[in-house]
Amino acid sequence: MAAAAVQPDFSGGGRADEVILRNNDSTLELPFASSVSIEANAGALRAACRCAWCTKARVEGAFPGGFSGLSITQIKPIGTYALNLHFSDGHDRGVFPWSYLRQLAKGLSG
């Protein structure tokens, strides 16, 4: 019997109360109603992008080892479950569900 595929969590895990860019737009801060605030660096977020282009580049071994000096140039909501982040290197395809942002921030801080 085949193992059941793990489905991504699109529930959102609760949206942040606001979206704040700090440090010359290089840090994304997300305060939540639970009095928890998470933050992540633009380079780390860019490196964590799961779009098809980035996934293909990883599989082909062509994904950059890091992204230093990046800023976030635009943020767009995707429904109520995610943010679409645009980066200063021109990349604008990443969709970051709230639950994934929380997971990334937790991993970056701990």
Q: Residue 13: pLDDT above 80?
A: no
Residue 43, phi then psi, degrees to nearest 5: -65, -40
Quick one: CATH architecture of 20-109? Answer: 2-Layer Sandwich (3.30)
Asked if the model's pLDDT at residue 94 lies above 60, the reply is yes
Q: What DSSP character marks residue 8? A: P
What mean pLDDT is predicted for residues 46-56? 96
**Helical ranges in the chain per DSSP H:** 42-47, 52-59, 98-109
Kindly state the helix (H) or strand (E) to which residue 85 belongs, with its residue range.
Answer: strand 82-87
pTM tops 0.85: no
Mean pLDDT of 81-102: 94
- pLDDT tens per residue, range 20-46: 999 999 999 999 887 788 889 999 999
Look at residue 3 and tell me whether its pLDDT is greater than 70: no
Least confident of 1-5, 16-20, 29-33, 66-70: 1-5
For residue 74, list its beta bridge partners. 86
Question: Cα–Cα distance between 47 and 33 in angstroms, integer?
Answer: 27
DSSP 33-59: TTS-EEEEEHHHHHHT--SHHHHHHHH
Spans of all domains in the chain: 20-109
CB atoms within 10 A of CB 98: 21
Name the residue with tokens 């995610």: 82
